[in-house]
Amino acid sequence: MDKIKMTTPLVEMDGDEMTRVIWKMIKDELLCPYIDLKTEYYDLGLPYRDETNDQVTIDSANAIKKYGVGVKCATITPNAARVKEYNLKQMWKSPNGTIRAILDGTVFRAPIIVKGIDPYVPHWKKPITIARHAYGDIYKATEMKIEGPGKAELVFTDANGNETRELIHDFKEPGIIQGVHNLDASISGFARSCFNFALDTKQDLWFAAKDTISKKYDHNFKDIFADIYENEYKAKFEEAGITYFYTLIDDVVARVIKSEGGFIWACKNYDGDVMSDLLATAFGSLGMMTSVLVSPDGKYEYEAAHGTVQRHYYKYLDGQPTSTNSVATIFAWTGALKKRGELDGIAELSAFAEKLEKATINTIEGGTMTGDLALISKLPNVNKVNTLEFIQAIRAELEKLI
């Protein structure tokens, strides 16, 4: 069989620890034998980030801006222990944070559903995708402890020095206050990323806030979403047969639980932080959670939602067998390859990616899986395999499909 040709390079961002090991296995076993893989390679492994003073991270994000699609391996976000372990020049910022800031993107997370790994909510038949706004609110708050009586006010001073004041509270006793903000441009970018992703994946979009209580702050989110929808997306949504709807955050949680899945749930920053962990847990396993960063102007970066699986890596270095789940990383590659195929009009490439996804799911549904899934699978005949054996089992399934 001739290898599938690509025309535009994928931006490939290598990473750290166990996921770096898996990255190479996936390329060697599942991609390079079938595709004439064309990538522009960026090594985001911590040693090279340190060597380049993190310039490589910035370069890789700019490459995604240029080519439109990237695929990223999990990377270490250094803390004090990592600075020591890797003898770093400094505690470099989170690569995901740097890339997100450059692309101004929104992260969409969705679980991969397979038979035998049942969600805690039994009638969830399709994935629920969470979109989290990644700017502002309590994550950029200013807070104060109030020790005794006094007046707390919100004061805005405009460029001409004019002040606008609102009383927060006339304190008679100790308490606390908090100042939060957001930006129309950031909310608009978030809204556009959500509308684009809904069109892209042909799923309904739900957005919720608390505008009944927060009549200016949360209401502004609601209004910006509504304006952009009416003016830019309504016709496209109708044509695609999907809907956008806004409701209150407490109403939406009830609807989500009663739903059968298959939609995108857009959340404000804090709601997304909490609800994405809730959904990841409710759907079963971190190793099955995919993640894609989408910019308002339609650039895509695919990755697994989990980290570098450090504990498994130390076992691997020690020569012990590991059983690390590669599914989310495989789906990062297939997501990126499908998107590249779609943008470049290479149907074969997209079809191959679909088959690789199917082969992965067939492998697990056939009973062969890694330890994390073996623990929770309801299948009667579970065959727990090690990291490489799992990828080789997927290859055997893939051979049957092509």
Closest residue to Mg ion using C-beta atoms: 273
What is the full DSSP assignment across 322-363? -----HHHHHHHHHHHHHHHHHHT-HHHHHHHHHHHHHHHHH
Binds 286: which of Mg ion, ligand NAP, none (CB < 5-8 Å by kind): ligand NAP
Report the C-alpha gap between 318 and 307 in whole angstroms: 20
Residue type, 150: G
CB of 57 or CB of 269, closer to Mg ion: 269
Binds 307: which of ligand NAP, Mg ion, none (CB < 5-8 Å by kind): ligand NAP
Report the C-alpha gap between 373 and 234 in whole angstroms: 41
Report the C-alpha gap between 155 and 167 in whole angstroms: 9
Report the C-alpha gap between 383 and 388 in whole angstroms: 14
The pairing of beta strand 10-14 with beta strand 39-43 = parallel
Report the C-alpha gap between 194 and 106 in whole angstroms: 8
- Pull the structure tokens for residue 130: 């969470």
Run of H or E residues at 198: helix 184-201
CB of 75 or CB of 276, closer to ligand NAP: 75
Residue 289 CB, shortest distance to ligand NAP, in Å, is 9
Residue 76 CB, shortest distance to ligand NAP, in Å, is 4
Binds 325: which of Mg ion, ligand NAP, none (CB < 5-8 Å by kind): ligand NAP
| CB neighbour class for 76 (10 Å; exposed up to 12, middle 13-18, buried from 19) | buried
Residue 273 CB, shortest distance to Mg ion, in Å, is 4
Residues in 293-332 that interact with ligand NAP by CB under 6 A: 303, 306-311, 324-325
CB of 218 or CB of 372, closer to ligand NAP: 372
Binds 306: which of Mg ion, ligand NAP, none (CB < 5-8 Å by kind): ligand NAP
- Pull the structure tokens for residue 278: 């809730």
Determine, following the binding rule CB under 5 A, whether residue 273 of this chain makes contact with Mg ion.
yes
- Choices 69-77, 227-235, 269-277, 390-398 (CB under 5 A): range interacting with Mg ion: 269-277
CB of 105 or CB of 341, closer to ligand NAP: 105
Report the C-alpha gap between 325 and 288 in whole angstroms: 8
Q: Is there a contact between 187 and 131 (Cβ–Cβ < 8 Å)?
A: no
Residues in 363-382 that interact with ligand NAP by CB under 6 A: 372
CB of 273 or CB of 297, closer to Mg ion: 273
Residue 122 CB, shortest distance to ligand NAP, in Å, is 24
**Site residues (vs ligand NAP, CB under 6 A):** 74-77, 96, 286-287, 303, 306-311, 324-325, 372
Contact residues toward Mg ion (CB under 5 A) are 273
